[in-house]
Amino acid sequence: MARFVQYERFGGPEVLEVVEAPDPQATPGSVVVAVRAAGVNPIEWKIRSGLRPSAPLSGPRRIGSDASGVVTALGEGVSGWSVGDEVIVSGAVGTYATAVAVAPESLDALPEGLGFEEAAALGIPVSTAYQAVVSLGVAEGSTFLVHAGAGAVGRAAVQFALDRGAG
């Protein structure tokens, strides 16, 4: 049995509950990952609290979008991954769990030397920063100001901008 975190009504952390369910299965086109660490993103508490528009609750909703772990099963038609691969999961649903089934496009290889805990924090913050730097056309010699350079997105944006030669 797998354990995961869900909520059935909007509210504070008190609405979260840990429940058990059958282990996720590798359906065609999916990958099952044993979660070693889950990332915590501000958007998750905003949605859970009802402060951010989302689909109406029509039953339990699992929480979590980023994680890291080890591939345990591959669905039919999945290529590029193997059982035992250490991965980062980004932009999935229900990663506050012991295991999760995700689309292979949600996975990146865990870089050598990076721990599961650090890797789980990369997903949404790093992709958000990268999209911002690229869409703004940050290039060598350009000026790039980050007002919140101490947060996860800001730190990543600063690194991407510096890597592109911005000042």
Inter-CA distances, 153 with 77, 138, 158, Å: 34, 16, 9
**Containing structural domain, residue 153:** 124-163
Please tell me whether residues 55 and 107 are part of one structural domain.
Answer: yes
**50 and 74 housed in the same domain:** yes
% of the chain exceeding 90 in pLDDT = 84
Residues 59 and 113 both lie in one domain:
yes
63 with 141, same domain?
A: no
Quick one: pLDDT at residue 56?
78
Would you place residue 53 in the very low, low, confident or very high pLDDT band (cuts 50, 70, 90)?
confident
Query: Cβ of 49: how many Cβ atoms within 10 Å?
Result: 14
pLDDT at residue 138 greater than cutoff 90: yes
Residue 28 has pLDDT above 90, yes or no: yes
